[in-house]
Structure 1
Amino acid sequence: MARSPIIVGIDGSQHSRDALGWAVREATLRDVPLLLVCATTYRRTNDGPDLARELRDRADRVLATALGIARAEAVAGSIEVRGEVSRQYAPGALIDRSADASMIVLGRRGLDEYSRGFVGSVCAAVARRAKCPVAVIDGW
């Protein structure tokens, strides 16, 4: 039987790096794989080809950095760490994957932080609709 992964949403923000550190530790304790998901589309818009390419390139860089951090923090390769870039809107990408996850881990705020003290819109949407537990990390 395959073990359901812990999924962590990654966007390059400090909050997502905090969530990543927490998720690596949790996946190690549970002995489950870790899947890092970075979305390239942040709004429900039809992005032009230049913007789409720029977002994809940025997501690839963010994911590569996060994979390096996760693999370095995992104790001697004790867990499987994978990553994927999704072309979906971030909440949809995470909610779709929640059916096969043991948990989703998110930072409290993302790159579009505009108001201190509030949970971000991605967290709120995922927490409402995910089919697995959701951990929202506020500092690690």
Structure 2
Amino acid sequence: MVRTVVAGLDGSTESRAAVEWAAREATLRGLPLRIVHVWEPVPHPMAQAPLVGGETVQHWTERIPRESAEGVRLRHPGLEVTTRQLTGRPAQALAKEAQEAELLVLGSRAMGGIGGFMVGSVGLFVVAHAARPVVLVRAGEQAADEHEPDPAGVPSAAAPFRPVVLGLDTEHPDETLLGFAFDAAVRRGTTLRVVHGWNPPPYYAYGMSGDLAAHNSMALRESTALTDALRPWREKYPDVEVGEECRFGSPALHVVNASAGASLVVVGRRVRRSPVGVHIGHVTHAVLHHAAAPVAVVAHH
């Protein structure tokens, strides 16, 4: 079965940005794009109110994905675009839709005045439950945002892509996560920045905080672990220029800082067995809310 790139659309500005990003990604991957609109029926008492007729609501909900698909086909000639209209709760419907997708793309509001996302309940639910990669895209994100600026400082779609940034935990260097990041760099013809943040063990704060030799020893150990984790992937992808950044301090902060110059940020989510609650991980959660570039969350064991 040929997987598709799926974009969730609800008519908002941010979801339209997600559709456009998904169209570019589908083109990079040589895959079809499916635009999914989920209509959640209003509660029965409200449905009785004579505000709009049933035919009007149906026409409006069908019009959103149809017009979006028409626009995408005009901007991306040759891209196969289909639409799907679903009824139900958007979070659950989109999480289920992701099962058949190569990746799922959703929109997320940008924070006012600063870089980053406002990740709503639907986005968090889908990220926490989807087994396939989920990408969150800011409202108003344009193709040029992913490319290096020209000499005048203006990004251009004809310029090289900005780097892909991967946040990596060297204790759990999962192959699915690494493979996604290297593949993303290959398709964009760009470099891969691998960022690993580390903190000393709790006992370090009790009596060792001033021991420079101990600190340097830990730094060397973390740096070696990062190099070892990447070595087989460098051999597998010899044409990808890889930058290793092993930094003391908050992993989330270092990945967020690196996102300012990225075309895509890739982070992982460990699959949890507990059926209760949202399990994303504090680093991924922080990156989702504060990154200044699209964020791909890759589920792994």
What TM-score, normalized to structure 1?
0.79
Distance 1:68 1:88, change over 3 A: same
Q: Distance in 1 between matches of 2:257 and 2:200?
A: 15
In structure 1, the partner of 2:117 is none
Q: 1:125 matched to which residue of 2?
A: 286
Counterpart-to-counterpart distance in 2, 1:51 and 1:136:
34
Instruction: Please identify the structure whose Cα radius of gyration is greater.
Output: 2
**Conserved? CA contact 1:36–1:84, under 8 Å:** yes
Q: For 1:108, give the aligned amino acid.
A: R
* Separation of aligned partners in 2, 1:51 and 1:97: 27
Counterpart for residue 181 of structure 2: 23
**Deviation per residue, 1:97-137 (Å, 9 max, x gap):** 1110111111113xxx9x64611100000010000011111
Q: Residue in 1 aligned with 2:295? A: 134
1:39 is aligned to: 197
1:34-62 Cα distance to aligned partner (Å, 9 max, x none)? 0111112279x967237634541331122
Contact 1:27/1:79 (8 A) holds in 2: yes
2:131 corresponding residue in structure 1: none
Amino acid at match of 2:236: E
Q: Does the aligned pair in 1 maintain the 2:174–2:300 contact within 8 Å?
A: no
1:139 shift after superposition: 2.7
Partner amino acid, structure 1, of 2:199? T
Contact 1:6-1:32 within 8 A present in 2 as well: yes
Output the CA distance in 2 between the equivalents of 1:14 and 1:53. 22
RMSD: 2.7
The residue that corresponds to 2:222 in the other structure is 59
1:10 and 1:17 in contact (8 A); partners too: no
The one-letter code of the counterpart of 2:299 is D
In structure 2, which of residues 224, 228, 233 is the aligned counterpart of residue 70 of structure 1?
233
Shift of residue 79, structure 1, vs aligned partner? 1.8
Structure 2: stretches of 5+ with no match in the other structure: 1-147, 149-159
Q: Distance in 2 between matches of 1:119 and 1:15?
A: 17
- Between the aligned partners of 2:200 and 2:163, the Cα distance in structure 1 is 24
Q: Per-residue deviation at 1:72?
A: 1.7
Contact 1:70 1:81 in 2 (8 A): no
State yes or no: 1:82 paired with 2:243. yes
CA distance in 2, matches of 1:85, 1:12: 10
Q: Secondary structure at the match of 2:249?
A: strand
Query: In structure 1, what is the Cα distance between the partners aligned to 2:255 and 2:228?
Result: 20
Tell me, yes or no, if the aligned pair for 2:190 and 2:241 is still in contact at 8 Å: yes
Deviations 1:3-51, CA, capped at 9 Å, x for gaps: 41111112224364431111011111111100111112279x9672376
Runs of 4+ in structure 1 over 4 Å off: none
Distance in 2 of aligned mates of 1:20 and 1:93: 18
Change (3 A) 1:42 1:11: farther
2:300 counterpart SS class: coil
State the identity %: 27
Instruction: Give the 3-state SS of the residue equivalent to 2:246 in structure 1.
Output: strand
Is the CA contact (8 Å cut-off) linking 2:164 and 2:185 kept in structure 1?
yes
* In structure 2, C-alpha distance between the alignment counterparts of 1:41 and 1:136, rounded to whole Å: 23
C-alpha separation in 1, matches of 2:262 and 2:193: 9
